[in-house]
Amino acid sequence: MSTQYNYTTNLDIKFKHFELIDIPKMVKENKDKWFNQTLTEVNGSVVRVGIVEGEYHWHKHENDDEFFFVLEGKFLIDLEDKTIELNPGQGVTITKNVMHRPRAPQKTVLLMVENRDIIPTGD
């Protein structure tokens, strides 16, 4: 039985190549506290937007690295021994198989680059 989380996670690819991606419009229309939408696919990886506020759960991805890049707000990634703080224009890659917990103390907009087959809630 899989665990259910109160996140909105859309894994469908919303935009085809050459389609305009309007992040400010998506932010304006979003009503969820923790929203994830796959935007496009690039060479077997996907680019996702996250519009988040609050706390995600502790998890890891056994076979996949994750890249987070903040557009607006503040994003914290707790690791077992430290917390990484990201502000607008900053990013970090979390190595596969590392336990982490993303948090956003305020509404935050970020881009993520991941393997297309990653399970966002962890393995």
pTM over 0.85: yes
pLDDT class of 4 with cuts at 50, 70, 90: low
Write out pLDDT tens, residues 29-72.
999 999 999 999 999 999 999 999 999 999 999 999 999 999 99
Q: What is the DSSP string of the chain?
A: -PPP-S-EEE-S----TT----HHHHHHH---SEEEEEEEEETTEEEEEEEEEEEPPPB--TT--EEEEEEES-EEEEESS-EEEE-TT-EEEEPTT--EEEEEEEEEEEEEEEETT--TT--
- Written out in words, the top-level CATH class of the domain with range 8-115 is mainly beta
Mean residue pLDDT across the chain:
93
Write out pLDDT tens, residues 75-97.
999 999 999 999 999 999 999 99
Give the residue extent of every domain in the chain.
8-115
